[in-house]
Amino acid sequence: MRVVVVGATGNLGTALLTRLQAEPEVTSLVGVARRGPRMATPPYGEVTWFSIDVGADDSPVALERAFAGADAVVHLGWALQPSHHKAVMYRTNVLGTSHVLDAAARAGVPHVLVASSVGAYSRGPKGRRVDETYKTKGVRRSSYSKHKSINERVMDAFVEQHPEVTLTRMRPGLVFQASAASEIVGLFAGRWVPTRWMQRVRPPFIPLAPRFVSQVVHASDVADAFWRAIDRRAGGAFNLAAEPVVDPDRIARAFGSRLLPVPYRLLRAVVQLTWLARLQPTEPGWLDIAAKIPVMSTEKARDVLGWTPRHTSDETLREFAHALAHRTKHEGSHPLHG
């Protein structure tokens, strides 16, 4: 089996390469990234690499060559920054996804898998769970959510135009692993924000809004779900998240701290002002995602894929908090899912 991974040097891409290399059925691995890895260390060593900018106008031709003979193509590539330049992110996130799908169809790839997100869902309930049929119109003031929603419509059209191709869309919660901690801090707080002091002293409190109820999942567990879908050639959408659901108290405990409840509107105003002033890189739309997206049911992934996450959400958060204090990092490009 020949598998191509687009966005293969990121957090989830690295986890997926590791997972695929453990399967004897996978005899050929191809990685696509804007910049290939600098070192041929695991899990990058036994991979054929193509350096392609998926948002470029000529990328479909290069992607079609990279996809030649593939049994499955997994698209994980995504840009979270620069958040102040939405056209740049749109080029990678939306145009890039269209380019990957077009190239896969022209190359005759029978199975395409795309990393969508819980962020694709419309505003929804926190007290009950939604399945994969819930509306995916995104959260209005989040660029990330809007791009994920647009891609859902792109994938809908692809399914209609190419019924011969099995299309799988994974919708994970926030994806974490220890090796991505340094990058996540860089993308959401700034690369020069110090965190090593957390080795000696825990933060006395963490300011969060009580409305921030969300779901997380470990990168290796998402990678396992992708492999299961490839192995079964399972199409359709799948929600992926660990248990239990994460609330602000659990986040604070994972960091060995206490929760300082802050009104949502006040916290959003502070983030909005500091983002507009370019004091920090986190777009306030991320707070809207945390406050408004629904809680997902993962029953379909468990039933159809036989998927059960090995890491609880508490374990995943504690691993991330520990790695954050020690600035654990890997050579990658997208810490949240690609």
pLDDT band with cut points at 50, 70 and 90 for residue 36: confident
pLDDT band with cut points at 50, 70 and 90 for residue 154: very high
pLDDT band with cut points at 50, 70 and 90 for residue 332: very low
Residues 304-324 as b or e (16 or more Cβ within 10 Å = b): ebebebebebbebbbbbbbbb
* Polymer length of the chain: 338
How many angstroms separate the CA atoms of 127 and 251, rounded? 18
State the pLDDT at residue 11: 84
Whether the pTM exceeds 0.75: the reply is yes
- 86, pLDDT greater than 60: yes
* Rg, the chain, Cα only: 19
Residues of the chain with pLDDT > 90, as a percent, come to 75
State the pLDDT at residue 333: 40
User: With 0-12 CB in 10 A as exposed, 13-18 as middle and 19+ as buried, what is 83?
Assistant: buried
How many angstroms separate the CA atoms of 64 and 54, rounded? 11
State the pLDDT at residue 185: 59
Kindly list the distances between the CA atom of residue 238 and the CA atoms of 157, 301, 313, 321, in Å, as whole numbers in the listed order: 18, 6, 18, 27
pLDDT band with cut points at 50, 70 and 90 for residue 331: very low
> Are the beta carbons of 52 and 64 closer than 8 angstroms?
no
**Helix (H) or strand (E) run with residue 169 in it:** strand 166-172
- 6, pLDDT greater than 70: yes
Q: Closest by alpha carbon to 308, among 241, 246, 238?
A: 241
**Number of CB atoms found within 10 A of residue 299's CB:** 12
pLDDT tens sequence across 166-203: 999 999 999 987 665 556 555 445 554 545 545 556 77
> Are the beta carbons of 13 and 81 closer than 8 angstroms?
no
pLDDT tens sequence across 88-145: 999 999 999 999 999 999 999 999 999 999 999 999 999 999 999 999 999 989 999 9
pLDDT tens sequence across 44-74: 888 999 999 999 999 999 999 999 999 999 9
Q: Is 327 left (phi over 0), alpha (psi -120 to 50) or beta?
A: left
State the pLDDT at residue 201: 60
For residue 50, give both structure tokens: 């193509």
The mean pLDDT of 265-276, rounded to a whole number, is 94
pLDDT tens sequence across 277-293: 988 888 999 999 999 99
**Number of CB atoms found within 10 A of residue 22's CB:** 11
